[in-house]
Amino acid sequence: MSDSADRPKPDGSAFKAHMEEVSARNDAARKTGRKEREERERSQSVSRYADDARQSADLRSGHSKRGGAASLIREKKKKG
């Protein structure tokens, strides 16, 4: 029983240090996730803008390599 009497009482410093480490890791993970999300959203935005610009150009030109409403109308007129 003398062993337990020689040990100092826990003061919570180990727990506090552990929680600070966990908090630091969580902060770093949030920062990394935020950066990755911003890059992904920026890339999607650029892609969306390019698609919109291409579609607008196709509509203005009146024809499209892929088809579109104007080419469908022309095909229907040819058939019928």
Residues 6+ apart with CB under 8 A from 62: 70
Q: Which residues contact 70 (CB under 8 A, 6 or more apart)?
A: 62, 63, 64
Alpha carbons 62 and 74: distance in angstroms, whole number: 11
Tokens of 32: 């990394």
pLDDT tens sequence across 31-55: 999 999 999 999 999 999 999 999 8
What burial letters (b/e) apply to 14-24, b meaning 16+ CB within 10 Å?
A: eeeeeeeeeee
pTM of the entire predicted model: 0.52
Is the model's pLDDT at 14 over the cut of 90? yes
